[in-house]
Amino acid sequence: MKDQKKRILIVGGVAGGASCAARLRRLCEHCEIVLFDKGQHVSFANCGLPYFVGKVIKDEKKLLVATPELFEHRFNICVHTEHEVLKIDRDAKTISVQNLLDGSIRDEAYDALVLSTGSKAIRPPLVGIDLPGIYVLRTIPDSLKLRAAAKNAKRAVIIGAGFIGLEMAENLANLGIAVTMIEMAHQVMPPLDAEMAVYVEQSLKNNNVELKLGKAVESFTEHETGLKVHYSDGGILETDIVLLAIGVQPESSLARKANLNLGERGGIQVNETMQTNDSAIWAVGDVVEVKDLVTGQAISLPLAGPANRQGRIAAGSVLKYLNNDDRKILKFRGVQGTAVCQVFGQTIAITGANEKTLQKNGINNYQAIYLHPGNHVGYYPGAKPIHMKLIFTQDDGRILGVQAIGTSGVARRVDVISMAMQMGGTVYDLEESELCYAPQFGAAKDPVNMAGMIAGNNLRADLPLADWHSLQDHECFVLDVRSANEFSGEEIPGAVNIPIEELRDRYTELPKDTEIMVVCGVGQRAYYAVRMLLQYGYQVKMLPGGMQTYQVIKEIKKG
Ligand code: FAD
């Protein structure tokens, strides 16, 4: 009964706020829980919005995971929608709330306050940015506007090729709209390294999405049949609708005004139980900054999973604070950016750091490998490749990150590797992972095992690996061990072809005083060749991922 009469206020009632409220009630039957949201809905499925616009999800009600009525009746939680919290008075422990329906403002007292105010779409101050026809997608009302506009649209320009931009490209294209994406970076999907993004770019092009990469939007103007988007180098696109999907920033204005500690990027700083520098205030979700477990840096990671888990964690911490008791509580351990998205049937999944991030943070002691295993055994009908890039430390084989793309079985592999990473796992753990196998699901050597085996072989010096960049930087002796027929289809300029089946008889044709880089289709035959040549005393390395990887490397070189 100690919790009685304690008043907990929550600002923001979606992923982090709603999960915190529900957990609080599960842990404390006696405290008063009041939730405010300036929007019309709480606990809605923001992640489903692109599919609602694309009419994959037809009924708006399906987006409502929980309603204010459900919170009231099932959990005895009082929900005020269309109530904006304007100010926090930390000394008085009150918040100032405006009822957006009648404009009235009142103060509400708290014993504990939880901020889950999320993030806001970045809207750069470009000429014409407020013109009608330019949309963002954050809320159900946003999605209704976009859905209505899409009804009559023939052309759409999406600015930004991250998760939301890509999901929207697919959904708008599936409505029969001609989609062009403009992206300032020279690749789509920034969490991928450029050569992995090529697979996504190819898929977009195959589905008639036009890409303008390395282009910055400069302004918008109206014209008789819609809008003109002006971008770098004098480019102009005529369109009916524009979607701004260039990223988000923490919605931390309340916290800023209340002098709570913020990080460099504007996220609220919290401890591992989500408590801010004010012991009576917690913050969760997109609005906080979190520790990147790979780089050690403070980052923003606007994803639903962390927001939900942080909401749960904050609930326990709030009650421990209010009751000053010794209850056991959870701690947030940081993030590694595990994420997934689907574009035109391709699943893109990632966890951990990519090479760009490692280099930016001065982490250079790593090795990257590529592999292209089937999602399941080749003899079972319908096998499809998964393009994978695994990055690990050179000294102890600790996993730093993985990127994977394919049509099936992708998220499962990345989830397994993500969990291994969270347990501090190494590539040796991937080699030894015991995973599900039947022909329709995988292989006796699963792609996860394969990634670990290639990496482990490399670290044990059984399989020296070449860096694709060194191939471009200086002249190398390249041995291609595919069949003559495959070789005649496409070859690395200057490569010498000795099919693997002939190599045992012909290896003496190879130079002993030069480093040899061996390539095949995806890496398997090159591995056999490397093992053979090493034992005959040659200096030899394998080009990981074979010609499959060469093609994407060549694509990014072309620009
Ligand atoms: P939000 O869910 O944004 O909720 C914040 C709430 O706070 C809002 O309702 C807002 O109205 C309210 N608020 C803000 N300020 C105030 C104030 N002053 N007073 C009162 N109320 C206030 N993540 C994934 O992991 N996977 C996905 O597939 C995915 N897809 C997405 C697709 C879209 C289109 C969008 C927009 C997001 C997607 N996300 C996805 C991200 C995910 O939805 C967010 O990370 C998550 O919702 C964050 O939860 P939150 O509680 O921090 O903030």
Q: What is the pLDDT of residues 34-48, one digit of tens each?
A: 999 999 999 999 999
Cβ of 117 closer than 6 Å to ligand 1, yes or no, is yes
User: What number is the average pLDDT over the span 502-530?
Assistant: 96
- Find the 143 Cα to ligand 1 centroid distance in Å: 14
Instruction: With beta carbons less than 8 A apart as the criterion, state whether 401 and 353 touch.
Output: yes
- Cα–Cα distance for residue pair 140/163, rounded to 1 Å: 18
Tokens 């102009």 map to which residue? Answer: 236
**289 CA distance to ligand 1 middle (Å):** 15
Judged by average pLDDT, the poorest of 72-76, 201-205, 469-473 is: 469-473
- Reduce the DSSP state of residue 426 to 3 states and report it: strand
520 C-alpha vs ligand 1 centroid, how far in Å? 46
Q: Which run of H or of E encompasses 392?
A: strand 386-393
Type of residue numbered 382: G
Q: What is the pLDDT of residue 373?
A: 96
What's residue 333's pLDDT?
A: 95
Q: Mind spelling out the 3-state secondary structure of 250-283?
A: ECCHHHHHCCCCECCCCCECCCCCCECCCCCEEE
Cα–ligand 1 centroid distance for 313 (angstroms): 18
Mean pLDDT (whole number) for 256-267: 97
8-33 mean pLDDT: 97
Q: And the tokens for 152? A: 């009559």
pLDDT in tens, 190-218: 999 999 999 999 999 999 999 999 999 99
Three-state DSSP at 534 gives: helix
Measure 285 CA to ligand 1 centroid, in angstroms: 8
Q: Are 331 and 313 in contact (CB under 8 A)?
A: yes
Instruction: Take residue 275 and report the two structure tokens written for it.
Output: 């408590």
pLDDT reading at 483 higher than 60: yes
pLDDT in tens, 215-242: 999 999 998 889 999 999 999 999 999 9
Q: Are strands 290-291 and 178-183 parallel, antiparallel or unpaired?
A: unpaired
Quick check: CB of 88 below 6 Å from ligand 1?
A: no
Q: Are 392 and 398 in contact (CB under 8 A)?
A: yes
Q: Give me the mean pLDDT over the 385-404 stretch.
A: 97
Distance 506 CA to ligand 1 centre (A): 62
**Residues whose CB is less than 8 angstroms from the CB of residue 387 and which lie 6 or more positions away in sequence, other chains included:** 196, 199, 370, 372, 404, 405, 406, 548
Which of 286, 308, 342 to mutate to test ligand 1, by most ligand atoms within 8 A of the CB atom?
286
What is the best residue among 37, 42, 43, 56 to mutate for testing ligand 1's pocket, by most ligand atoms within 8 Å of CB?
37
Residue range 326-354, pLDDT digits in tens? 999 999 999 999 999 999 999 999 999 99
Atom of ligand 1 nearest to the CA of 83: 20
pLDDT at 286 over 80: yes
> For ligand 1, atom 31, which residue shows the shortest CA distance?
47
In contact, 431 and 447? CB cutoff 8 Å? no
Whose CA is closest to atom 45 on ligand 1?
303
Q: What are phi and psi of 338, to 5 degrees?
A: -70, 125
Closest ligand 1 atom number to CA of residue 137: 34
Q: With a cut of 80, say whether residue 474 has pLDDT above it.
A: no
Residue from 56, 99, 117, 164 whose mutation best tests the ligand 1 pocket (most atoms within 8 A of CB): 117
Q: CA-to-CA distance for 24 and 76, rounded, in angstroms?
A: 11
The per-residue pLDDT for 473 is 62
Nearest Cα residue to 128 out of 226, 20, 227, 53: 227
Are 184 and 162 in contact by the 8 Å Cβ rule? The answer is no
Q: Is 303 in the pocket of ligand 1 (CB under 6 A)?
A: yes
pLDDT mean over 449-461: 97
Residue 301 CA to ligand 1 centre (angstroms):
12
Which residue of 115, 142, 303 sits with most ligand 1 atoms within 8 Å of its CB, as the best mutation to test the pocket?
Answer: 303
SS3 content of the chain, % helix, strand, coil (to 5): 35, 25, 40
How many angstroms separate the alpha carbon of residue 31 from the centre of ligand 1? 26
Average pLDDT over residues 443-448: 97
Q: Which atom of ligand 1 is nearest to the CA of 121?
A: 36
95 lines ligand 1 (CB under 6 A): no
Question: Which ligand 1 atom is at minimum distance from the Cα of 37?
Answer: 21
- Average pLDDT of the chain, as a whole number: 96
Q: What is the pLDDT of residue 476?
A: 82
Bridge-partner residues for 34, per DSSP?
9, 78
- Cβ 128 under 6 angstroms from ligand 1: no
> For the residues 241-251, what does the mean pLDDT come to?
97
Q: Is the pLDDT of residue 1 over 60?
A: no
261, pLDDT greater than 60: yes
Query: Is the distance from the beta carbon of residue 165 to the nearest atom of ligand 1 less than 6 Å?
Result: no
> Of the candidates 433, 432, 540, 530, which has an alpha carbon nearest to the alpha carbon of residue 476?
540
Q: Where are the beta strands (DSSP E) in 268-372?
A: 281-283, 290-291, 298-299, 339-343, 346-352, 366-371
Give pLDDT, residue 554: 87
Token pair belonging to 216: 């910055």
Q: What is the mean pLDDT of residues 511-532?
A: 96
- Among the listed residues 422, 401, 395, the one whose alpha carbon sits nearest the alpha carbon of residue 196: 401
pTM: 0.95
3 — pLDDT class (breaks 50, 70, 90): very low
- The answer on pLDDT for 433 being more than 90 is yes
Q: Are 94 and 107 in contact (CB under 8 A)?
A: yes
Mean pLDDT of 383-412: 97
Structure tokens at 349: 């999944």
- Ligand 1 centroid vs 265 CA: distance in angstroms? 17
